[in-house]
Structure 1
Amino acid sequence: MALPEGADPEVAGRAAALEARFGDKSPQTILAAAIERHAEVAAVTSFGAESAVWLHMLAQVDRNVPILFLDTGKHFPATQRYRETLTEAFSLGDVRLIRPDPAALAAEDANGMLFAADPDRCCHLRKTEPLKRALQPFSAWMNGRKRHQNAMRAGLPAFEADGSRLKVNPLARWGREEIAAYFARFDLPRHPLVAEGYASIGCMPCTSPVKPGEDPRAGRWRGRGKSECGIHVGP
């Protein structure tokens, strides 16, 4: 089987072994397996529409795992408040705000409107590069992607190689029904924008509500032919 582009063969082999052993297990088991095997592991979250589910699970396994939030400077105020709500509700011990390089923004996005002219470059400056720097101390990272979110994620495994790091997707196999049931079972706080039709929530200028029947991420970069910011596309 061909390796993912840029993947370290050793990491790819470890990911395949973990997938074979734990890939069809519960998200909690997947999280625990990743944490037990990697002393330097981080969680990356947008504090978006479904983030509460896996962050609640993570808090049950280890509430002191570093949690990285890409504070792009373009988030909805409601997202910032939701981050504070979940941090307090789940007693998350190490939430880190990862911000863009001020010099890079001054050079390429001084007026803050790059998202309109070149959304890919805007994502690169505000998300991809900051995350790349923030992940340097870590050998593995976890996130909340799921297969049901769009066609690009349809074959998502629980464990994969991301360059020289292991990447863990504990909710990969969970669908809308499982997510909704978990919210209800534990009475988890909902992101305020979900009630307004936002199924996937990113930066304010590039996020819109979705229509009935659309993929959850259809409201991201609507009309741009873009469905990923870049942090999940290659190493």
Structure 2
Amino acid sequence: MAQIPLPHESSALNDAYGHLSAETVLQLAITELFAQEIALVSSFGAESAVLLHMASRLDPAIPVVFIDTGRLFPETLQYRNKLIDRLGLKDVRSVGPDTDTMEAADPYGALFSMDPDRCCHLRKVEPLAKALLPFSAWITGRKRFQAATREVLPVFEADSTHIKISPLAKWGAGELVAYLRAHDLPRHPLVAQGYPSIGCAPCTSPVAEGEDARAGRWRGQAKTECGIHLTPTHVTKRSA
């Protein structure tokens, strides 16, 4: 039987399940649609505790992929360890760039300022691609409210190799805060310092009131995405 092209599969999944609650989408994805073939990719960032908590209640042994780029805030690494213990996560896989590759490509640690797309590709995109090889689908924590480039984010979508699922796509900031409070989940310590979106330390700055949640990522550049989340032809970028 011919395999259904991934874009057609994701479209059918959206039609069938895209209207359901985040919890129901997550349960279907983990226990039925992609059982034993799915991973959750988490940055252990500002809002990550919500999705990780939901997943841990369904299956604390779900594979969770964390990309340690080597340039993260120390607070993020501490928060990762805290959530692992708090939620009882049993299979968190920290992956990162190849040491020899980075020594050759970024010997002075300045690639982020000279060629941020390449820096992200080497530190995030390539390690994640390798980590996802055993899986046919992966779960992301993206939401439509985070940036103009995500306003039409579907719950199910396809990249070149996997089905990608964003159970929280329709959630707003208020719903996230309410969930965190209802379940007494700890916040990333940098949130209180004005960081609603947290990536690598050299490329993340605080956000002013009224700005996009992701305005502090690659501030002053056209870039808005690290490259993990691609359109069919290019990395999503901010308009000039």
Question: TM-score w.r.t. structure 1 length?
Answer: 0.94
Identity of aligned residues (%): 55
Secondary structure of the 1:148 match is helix
- Look up the SS of the partner of 2:230 in the other structure: coil
Do the aligned partners of 1:19 and 1:158 also contact (CA within 8 Å) in 2? Answer: yes
1:37 to 24, 33, 38: 33
- Corresponding residue for 1:22? 17
Match of 2:171 among 163, 170, 174: 174
**RCO higher in structure (CA 8 A, sep ≥6):** 1
Separation in structure 1 between the aligned mates of residue 46 and residue 61 of structure 2, nearest angstrom: 22
Does the 8 Å contact 1:147/1:172 carry over to 2? yes
C-alpha distance in 1 between matches for 2:113 and 2:159:
29
Amino acid at match of 1:28: E
Q: Distance in 1 between the 2:191 and 2:95 partners?
A: 24
Cα distance in 2 for partners of 1:114, 1:9 equals 40
Task: Give the superposed CA RMSD.
Answer: 1.2
Distance between the aligned counterparts of 1:131 and 1:234, measured in 2? 17
Give the SS at the match of 2:5: helix
- Name the CA distance, whole Å, in 1 between partners of 2:90 and 2:221: 37
What TM-score, normalized by structure 2, do the two folds share? 0.92
Q: Runs of 4+ in structure 1 displaced over 4 angstroms?
A: none
- Listed one character per residue, the Cα deviations across residues 146-175 of structure 1 (whole Å, up to 9, x for unaligned) are 000001110011111111311000100001
Please give the alpha-carbon distance, in whole angstroms, between the structure 2 residues aligned to 1:50 and 1:61.
Answer: 19
Residue 13 (structure 1) shift: 2.2
The match for 2:120 is: 123
Q: How does 1:136-215 map to 2 (within 5 A)?
A: 136-215=133-212
The structure that is helix-richer by fraction is 1
Say which SS state the counterpart of residue 63 (structure 1) adopts.
coil
Unaligned runs of 5+ in 1: 1-7
Aligned match of 2:8 in 2, 13, 16?
Answer: 13
